[in-house]
């Protein structure tokens, strides 16, 4: 019980600390957009590394992580730890990018964390919200040429045993901005992993990177093939 209280207390205090850091960078009047997103990515990675260290979670990657940038990373989503695990991986390769998140997350009590850490909100309820979202992405990519996009193509947190139907956002972003896509499969139930943490013996999370997809419309088919190759189960 004490370890669980300690875990939540630590993460609340750490999150509040990093919101202040994010705000300072986000509102800095004298740095370029690229410098801003580079710094925000770096601090998200620092936060994520600190959380994983507290929880005693290690991450093993399988497959090649592209050296090139300007990639759409399509990732399965079962827990908020998904972002933390991926940011840890991106810290190893010094990647810079933005996360796509629903508007409702920005409106929640922890919304400042998403708003100021460099995430991009999308309002799925209105046509105007979608138009604004795609314009924002295009603007960012026009100003920051080596920016990556991190997105959950299922569109929501998946609580089932199989993949949900993919939403169209990842493919539309890739097509509209001449980007390649990399499918990423986190082979673990990170919600349960978080509940059981912190671990006395390190718990290893396995993350699988598929081959680069140059034809965005093949994403869902190629993603299913990646998951089946990892799990041996047809999705």
Model pLDDT for residues 32-53, shown as the tens digit of each residue: 999 999 999 999 999 999 999 9
Q: Quick one: pLDDT at residue 2?
A: 63
Tokens representing residue 127 in the block: 């046509």
**Higher confidence at residue 129 or residue 60?**
60
As a whole number of angstroms, the distance between CA 29 and CA 180 comes to 32
Q: Looking at 8-118, which runs of residues are DSSP E strands?
A: 57-62, 71-75, 97-102
CB-based burial label for 198 (10 Å; 0-12, 13-18, 19+): middle
Pairwise CA distance, residues 88 & 104, whole Å:
25
Look at residues 118, 140, 141, 151 and name the one whose alpha carbon lies nearest to residue 42. 118
Residue whose token pair is 């840890």: 88
Tokens representing 34 are 């690229």
Distance CA 182, CA 201 (A): 32
Dump pLDDT digits (tens) for 128-170.
888 999 999 999 999 999 999 999 999 888 888 889 999 999 9
CATH topology of domain 2-231: Glycerol-3-phosphate (1)-acyltransferase (3.40.1130)
Residues 81 and 164: their CA atoms lie apart, in Å, by 19
Percent of the chain with pLDDT over 90: 77
C-alpha separations of 192 from 3, 35, 198, 232 in Å: 16, 36, 12, 22
Domain chopping of the chain, boundaries: 2-231
In angstroms, the first-to-last Cα distance of the chain is 37
Least confident of 186-190, 211-215, 226-230: 186-190
- The whole-number pLDDT of residue 166 equals 95
Q: Is the predicted pLDDT of residue 58 greater than 80, yes or no? A: yes
Q: CA dihedral defined by 38, 42, 45, 46, rounded to 10 degrees?
A: -170
Strand order in the sheet with 57-62: 57-62, 203-209, 180-186, 71-75, 148-151, 97-102, 120-122
Evaluate if pTM is beyond 0.85: yes
Structure confidence at residue 1 (pLDDT): 60
pLDDT of residue 5: 75
């Amino acid at each position: 019980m004490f370890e669980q209280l300690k875990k939540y207390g630590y993460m609340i205090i750490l999150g509040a600390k990093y919101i202040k850091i994010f705000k300072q960078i986000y509102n800095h009047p004298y740095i370029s957009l690229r410098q801003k997103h580079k710094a925000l990515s770096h601090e998200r990675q620092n936060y994520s590394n600190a959380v994983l260290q507290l929880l005693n979670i290690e991450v093993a990657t399988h497959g090649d992580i592209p050296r090139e940038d300007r990639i759409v990373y399509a990732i399965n989503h079962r827990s908020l730890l998904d972002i933390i695990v991926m940011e840890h991986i991106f810290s190893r390769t010094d990647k810079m990018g933005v996360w796509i998140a629903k508007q409702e997350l920005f409106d929640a009590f922890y919304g400042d964390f998403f708003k100021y850490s460099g995430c991009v909100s999308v309002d799925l309820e209105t046509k105007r919200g979608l138009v604004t979202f795609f314009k924002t992405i295009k603007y960012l990519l026009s100003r920051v040429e080596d920016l990556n996009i991190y997105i959950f193509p299922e569109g929501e947190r998946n609580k089932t045993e199989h993949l949900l139907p993919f939403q169209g956002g990842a493919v539309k972003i890739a097509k509209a901005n001449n980007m390649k896509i990399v499918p990423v499969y986190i082979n673990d139930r990170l919600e349960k992993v978080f509940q059981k943490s912190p671990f006395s013996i390190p718990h290893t999370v396995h993350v699988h990177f598929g081959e680069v997809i140059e034809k965005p419309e093949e994403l869902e088919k190629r993603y299913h093939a990646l998951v089946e190759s990892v799990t041996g189960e047809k999705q």
